[in-house]
Amino acid sequence: MISKWKPDQTCKIWDSNDCSYFDNLKIVHKQQNGPSCVATTLSMLVESLGNNISPEYFKSSTNSQSPQTWSDSLKQFGLQLAYCNTDVRRLSYFIEELKSYDDLFLISFYSVDPPFDTDVNGKLCTAHIITMHKGTIFDTAKSSVFGGVCKSEGYARLDRPVKRIFRVLPLGHERCL
């Protein structure tokens, strides 16, 4: 009966029990040059599949504010992105569940607590994106020896509010952007 309905507050990030798609992936950390976390992250992903694609390729084929362009640019490499069920909570809230999937995710978070209105230049605030593979975080803003590669529970920015979480999937998976 509809009058007895209550919202389910136990929504999981990913609502199926499918397998881990990237068990044997070997990601080699790349450090970004300038404000290019999206392009560098995408380049790092496709290079882990054996391709030699620079961040400049993704700078020219994506819009850093449009995840659809990120997913579209990955298709020729056999990948696609799917949104995960998230809201604006701190990254620490999601880490254990993400680890439990034992797979590959892109996590975007706000660099500062997000305001509700843009500044005079039309900018809301800066955000950053990281890769999480099987409990290891790859942060292109940092060198690999100074926090750029670490276990998720030791990541320095777990207190940041999440903007978006994507699962990286093989091209053709039923879930996509």
Residue 1 has pLDDT above 60, yes or no: no
Express each pLDDT in 42-76 by its tens digit. 999 999 999 999 999 999 999 988 999 999 999 99
The whole-number average pLDDT for the span 92-104 is 95
Residue 98 has pLDDT above 60, yes or no: yes
Angle, CA of 127, 128 and 129, to the nearest 5° = 135
The overall average pLDDT reported for the chain is 91
Express each pLDDT in 112-134 by its tens digit. 777 677 778 877 668 899 999 99
Distance (Å, whole) CA 111 – CA 155: 14
For residue 73, what are the CA distances in angstroms to 25, 32, 79?
A: 19, 18, 9
Express each pLDDT in 144-156 by its tens digit. 999 999 999 999 9
Residue 176 has pLDDT above 90, yes or no: no
As a residue count, the chain comes to: 177
Domains of the chain, start order: 25-114+123-170 (3.90.70.10)
